[in-house]
A and B are shown apart, each in its own frame.
Chain A
């Protein structure tokens, strides 16, 4: 993340080394910037300085000097700091001696041993004699929940856990109880954490510098583990996980602070979701249906069978559905396979109604089915956040953390429109609880209020459809809407004004364009049954109306549930588009792809059962998911390849699809669990899950990130890109990508919005599309004219 700073610079001396940092920096941060290590225990990135451990004490020389806590004390011009003077070291030793009076010192059996801050510092500061020694006080383990244990004798009461729980996670499930030496960490009234607001995100364990809060599923020493940094595959926030594994088994997930879109934080799925990856029910071999039964098959046999069958369905009798949880590379290969090998544009994503609706709404309004802005702007520009849809704390948990953070640390205002009740509702300035499906009405009423208050200022060059839309809005009566959904009109008005004024909350006569930015965070797309289109479109209109599109800190950020839903869409898993939203019916573009793809045909391949190498790509858009369902019903589509990646947190599959699939003559399902879908297949291929593959994901705010192979897939399971290559090879089409990085290279060449992306470049950190060339200022939001075509941006009357 690039932080631009216009703050005054201050020069100080740390251990005689001159350091220049912006004003307002703490001494600790200045030391870190200068590469001087200052020990700290209660300091936690993203949380405000707490100042309880006093081990980060440094000495300031001079008249106004003395010992200060460097985590909170700010730099002053000309200050001279000593980080390791005798006084300082003596103080640190004292602190450590104090800790060690009652600290259990059960390091040999402690999970944290080896990465324990207290252990490290005790060693570092040479504390071995303790004049305060006495028989230790001890208390038994407390089982806070089935996942979290607390051991008082190890606790140093730094309150990192309770602060993170309160200020970032927003649930305040645990707190410091009692005073003095009797203080301990626990939930209110000693209840089980699962009974309260706890979301089991495990962040309390993650931030614990010692072994006081421990993971009940973990029982190893850190030095026995290997670590792989990868991206979480359970939702489209796209968190960076540090997956620690040994002997091919994931043992735990830890946190790389300040890394990735999640800055190291995770939710329950990120922290403990690896259990899905090594679930005993995982598919470990291929299965072939024989009558009503499945028999285990050799992978080669199964693939032969698939290739043989596919030969009979080249053309529009074939269709494929891509998994929105597979990597970009795999999705790219599947659409390439469908188009260049099977000769049809019948490709779509395996999605449900909510996802389709939101994707469509974004495309209708902005010309691109993508979020216009980035979550990271909650740290910098967003002053008001309109949160709409099902509980964001469950659907995009880490995204919700930034809302709490922004609220706590930047005084950003929050407006929630949700049928669900979750902690953010109670902390928001306004919470509107409309009946399910009535969100659109409420949002339109807000738009009407904003219009009436004279706060509308749509961008001049991007306001197509404005007049028509405004006419439609004329019949919306806010008072009536308020009465219908059972809220106070004043509440509705306040929500609208807060949003339109970027959290200022009152119309103070300034030019509407001068109010701070407001962002929309919506999770409508995670509601699998709902028709979210009207509400999603209404939100887009609202953002356009208030000039929040194409603006830092504004825009619409839509979470759609599946980890790579955005990536699958970008990769052309859509009936009408090649990767990067290049229309299939454009001959120019088609020629580009033909040149890239059709040369892979093995000309020696023998045409068989009507199957033959293609000489050109299909020119007409194919069928989307709805079209496919109808076509299967009508018997027009006879064979399908469905990449699915089911797991406990899967967003779910359209019921209508499940109902028609038995009509197919031949269905191949690649899946990781014996799901409902897999049970309908003729051949089931065992798919690898996200921890078992290399590649890239694109998250809800268009951030492309690097996925790394952490553990081997179970049994015969293989990643999708491997299956597709094998099938294609058997059909006479040579893909020959040795690794997903080669696929990504091809994507980067053929797809303008991904131009310049490569796995090596992603190693340096995430990139957001449209990707800027090396060295250029990265842009985190879509600007009008750059990323957003003004002519494609329009008000949509739904």
Chain B
């Protein structure tokens, strides 16, 4: 079905909302299973299959649907059951072996409160506490994640029923491109890829450049370790990102948009592609959308798995089918990007913010978060914390609350040592630094970085030297091989750290690390090279005692490094 004008779209919205209301009216069985890459790994597909069979056998006429990830990776696979006349209850960790019992309980009318994570209601229901009171969710402000785990990511109807594409319609019918850019500027949404450059200003300079055609690209590459927000975004609500890119295209007055997705995010690619297809089918994408005279075409490009392809200019080369390597600036991408034309590149999460900003206004958005870092931020957490997953918080939440509140603090038997910030581009924080608010600017003075919002908590069993080596090696292997400081400086750093790790350090090695890092930071071509030594420098600054133990005492306090205890005491450098 292709919609041809705005009225037809409104009619479609009404129809979709009616159907959605029917589904949630509470007069029938609705069973939803979260299918995302993390839950698939835990067997959610099997859970879904088993549920279908079991429900059929049990004679329960239920609508079994898939939904996306809801952020609680620790609770996967989860199942949401809406019984007739009852609010939806969410059950955690429903592996296949638990399916028969669950179905059995459903048949009996037992809520099975001990398996439940919470109930989607304001009041407790038969012993199940409200979901929003769960410590994992209580501190969150879900704007981008509002529909995660609620809508079927492969259904455009679900998305539209929940208010989707209203911003797109509003933009193309009721707003000029300047007004769109203006709203984005008022919202002061800063780029979510790590650098934190205000998106509105980037769009404006993209508009100023006089060359056509222009391009809009979403960066969904997300190649660094420890971060998994964008791929969950694309898996759980691809239309939100798509709508954001479309509005970006409108703001730039160009019909050409790309989404560049890392090749390893299979499900994300699949679901985003499907979303694009559905939008075309419905006539929300294409030439002359809904008779508005606006055209928009979105293409999906996938990467080959190189970390560097997340860097703007390298990504553009990759989009053009060339080897992904950053290039020197000027010209900047907004002047000469993909196909040598002005290109606006933003992170997936940035684009996901756009529909909300257009729907509710930039001021609404700017009211969230802190003054300099507005809005909400997706945060992913890994390590030995109670609850691993994706959360969405308002900017400015203290790190301590984040780790010990939302994510539940350390698991039993683990003692907090530090939290690595900024992926592989910054240093860690120690326990005493945890009161720092999580936003773009506060972490930097401490040697940390918000980056794309991926944090790794590590405990006393982790050696700072070993961890530094891991992070540095990542940078060494992922160096694109273009500029010398990064290509050859990183191996040199790894070499020195490795030496320390094995107990063969030479005097002055720590100074040598400093001296090596300086030119890498100063001379590297791209942002990734310029921050490549940061994790090592951060580790040395945060945990000097670990390094001292390796160098002076030939001892690894955490007991993980293969230290050669009999190594000769450090003498003057070999030659």
Residues in chain A within 8 A of chain B (CB atoms): 49-55, 57, 66-67, 69, 71-74, 90-91, 94-95, 98-99, 101-102, 131-134, 156-157, 159, 175-176, 178-183, 411
Contacts and interface: CB of A to CB of B under 8 A. Distances in A.
B291 to A, nearest CB: 25
B525 A67 contact: no
Contacts of B525: 51-52, 54, 69
B537 to A, nearest CB: 16
A94 B484 CA distance: 10
B491 interface: yes
Nearest to A93: B519
B327 A98 contact: no
Contacts of B489: 98
B522 A180 contact: no
A159 B329 CA distance: 18
Given A72-B328, A132-B495, A179-B478, A52 B484 contact: yes
Given A94-B519, A95-B523, A54 B484 contact: yes
B484 A50 contact: no
Contacts of B477: 179-180
Interface of B: 306, 308, 323, 325, 327-330, 340, 476-485, 487-492, 495, 512, 516, 519, 522-525, 573-575
A175 B524 CA distance: 22
B315 to A, nearest CB: 15
Contact of A181 (B328, B483, B491): B491
Contacts of A50: 327-328, 482
A98 B481 contact: no
A98 B484 contact: yes
B339 to A, nearest CB: 10
A308 B443 CA distance: 99
A176 B323 contact: yes
Nearest to B506: A131
Contacts of B495: 132, 134
Contacts of B484: 52-55, 95, 98-99, 156-157
Contacts of A131: 512, 573
17 contacts: A49-B328, A51-B328, A52-B483, A66-B522, A71-B328, A72-B329, A91-B523, A95-B485, A95-B523, A99-B484, A132-B492, A132-B516, A157-B482, A157-B484, A159-B482, A180-B487, A181-B488
A179 B479 contact: yes
A183 B487 contact: yes
B523 A67 contact: yes
A50 B489 CA distance: 19
A327 B308 CA distance: 55
Given A179-B481, A180-B477, A99 B523 contact: no
> What are the 3 A-B residue pairs with the smallest beta carbon separation, nearest first?
A183-B481, A72-B328, A51-B328
A624 to B, nearest CB: 50
Contacts of B480: 179-180
The CB with the most chain B CB atoms within 10 A, among A54, A71, A74, A159, is that of A54
Contacts of A156: 484
Contacts of A57: 523
The CB with the most chain B CB atoms within 10 A, among A54, A91, A179, is that of A179
B340 A54 contact: no
B34 to A, nearest CB: 35
B328 A180 contact: no
A132 B329 CA distance: 30
Contacts of A159: 482
Nearest to A95: B484
Contacts of B512: 131
Contacts of B325: 176
B416 to A, nearest CB: 33
A133 B574 contact: yes
A182 B480 CA distance: 10
Contacts of B329: 72
A189 B236 CA distance: 39
Contacts of B519: 90-91, 94-95
Contacts of A53: 483-484
Contacts of A180: 476-481, 487, 490-491
A411 B340 contact: yes
B403 to A, nearest CB: 33
A54 to B, nearest CB: 5
A69 B328 contact: yes
A260 B371 CA distance: 61
Contacts of A98: 484-485, 488-489, 492
A375 B490 CA distance: 45
A180 B489 CA distance: 10
Given A179-B478, A180-B481, A67 B488 contact: no
B44 to A, nearest CB: 34
B488 A101 contact: yes
B505 to A, nearest CB: 13
Nearest to B307: A179
B483 A51 contact: yes
A54 B481 contact: no
Contact of B481 (A69, A90, A95, A178): A178
A183 B330 CA distance: 26
Given A74-B330, A180-B481, A91 B522 contact: yes
Contacts of A182: 481
Given A98-B484, A99-B488, A181 B522 contact: no
Contact of A94 (B308, B327, B476, B523): B523
Contacts of A176: 323, 325, 481
B329 to A, nearest CB: 8
B454 to A, nearest CB: 22
A50 B484 CA distance: 12
A51 B331 CA distance: 13
Contacts of B476: 180-181
Contacts of B479: 179-181
The CB with the most chain A CB atoms within 10 A, among B484, B522, B525, is that of B484
B514 to A, nearest CB: 12
B215 to A, nearest CB: 16
Contacts of B490: 180
B327 A51 contact: yes
Contacts of B492: 98, 101, 132
A731 B183 CA distance: 95
Contacts of B524: 54
A133 B496 CA distance: 11
A525 B189 CA distance: 63
A153 B540 CA distance: 32
A547 B17 CA distance: 64
A72 B479 CA distance: 21
A94 B329 CA distance: 23
A67 B483 CA distance: 15
Given A91-B522, A181-B479, A181-B488, 9 more contacts: A52-B483, A53-B484, A54-B523, A66-B522, A94-B523, A101-B492, A134-B495, A179-B308, A181-B491
Given A49-B328, A72-B328, A179-B477, A54 B485 contact: yes
A411 B479 CA distance: 31
Contacts of A101: 488, 491-492
A132 B574 CA distance: 10
B94 to A, nearest CB: 41
Nearest to A57: B523
A653 to B, nearest CB: 45
A490 to B, nearest CB: 19
Nearest to A98: B488
Contacts of B481: 157, 176, 178-183
